[in-house]
Amino acid sequence: MKIVLSGTMDEVRAELLALAQDWAEKKEPTYRSEAPGDHTADGSYQEGAGLVAPAPPHDPPAAAPSELDSAGVAWDPKIHAKTKTQTKLGTWKFKPGLSPEQRAVAPAPPVVPAPPAALAPPAALAPPVAPVAPAPPVAPDGGVFRKHENPAPQNMDGFLNYIAKLVGGGKTTHAAVQEWVSQQGVADLTKSEPGTVVALCESLRTTYGVPF
């Protein structure tokens, strides 16, 4: 089959480029041939009379996010070659005939957001302070009250029970207590006032450290 090209150099170059792109995309090339349609109504031959203009090309769909070149630019059907070929540097090839201004409108590479700043670790909490136990109250005679301590005896029976507690604990003896009571100026303990009994018991508790 004979292929006939005519027109100016620019038109021939454009037709050759269209044929090359069609062959690269494995499409049926569009060409013109000398056919009966190239003749006019009076039977004379005229080049181009039967040439059928090819259908206008359809813009391919926009590139998917993964179709990026080495510069991070997405393939744009308006300015890049339909074959989606790349240069030696890995960038998209432009369509022929584009001006420098048209090539300059290529989209810039997508901006990668900066990673969020690392959060500072929380400050360590101070250890809890142990509560300080209050000091025990001080007794009027300078001693220290013990928890749940019974009051001093105020009668003879209470005094005798306390003496028995001291003697049973090995702190003293009955004879020593009797001698000590006499030294305190108490002749008859049974006739003593409650305050005297309390004073004697408090003195013994301070001496021996035995609670009532």
Task: Report the range out of 47-51, 109-113, 158-162 with the highest average pLDDT.
Answer: 158-162
Query: How many domains would you assign to the chain?
Result: 3
C-beta neighbour count of 211 within 10 angstroms = 12
**Global pTM?**
0.31
pLDDT for 67: 78
Q: Is 60 exceeded by the pLDDT of residue 34?
A: no
Q: Is 80 exceeded by the pLDDT of residue 167?
A: yes
Average pLDDT over residues 47-76: 67
Nearest CA-CA partner of 68 in 82, 53, 79, 84: 84
- How far apart are the C-alpha atoms of 52 and 33, rounded to whole Å? 10
* Structural domain boundaries enclosing 89: 62-104
List strand residue ranges (DSSP E) for 101-154, in order. none
Q: Domain for residue 76, yes or no?
A: yes
Q: Domain for residue 135, yes or no?
A: no
Q: Domain for residue 40, yes or no?
A: yes
The reply to whether 38 and 81 lie within a common domain is no
C-beta neighbour count of 84 within 10 angstroms = 14
Q: Domain for residue 39, yes or no?
A: yes
Q: Domain for residue 69, yes or no?
A: yes
pLDDT for 173: 92
Q: Is 80 exceeded by the pLDDT of residue 206?
A: yes
- How far apart are the C-alpha atoms of 94 and 9, rounded to whole Å? 21
Q: Domain for residue 128, yes or no?
A: no
Q: Domain for residue 134, yes or no?
A: no
Half-sphere exposure of 184 (CA within 13 A, CB side): 17
Q: Domain for residue 25, yes or no?
A: yes
Task: Report the range out of 47-56, 93-102, 117-126, 183-192 with the highest average pLDDT.
Answer: 93-102
pLDDT for 181: 85
> What are the backbone dihedrals phi and psi of residue 114, each rounded to the nearest 5 degrees, phi first?
-70, 145
Average pLDDT over residues 134-152: 61
The reply to whether 39 and 75 lie within a common domain is no
Q: Is 80 exceeded by the pLDDT of residue 192?
A: no
Q: What is the per-residue pLDDT across 95-141, written as a single tens digit (0 to 9) for each? A: 888 888 887 755 555 566 788 777 777 777 777 777 776 766 555 55
Q: Across the strands, what pairs with 86?
A: 92
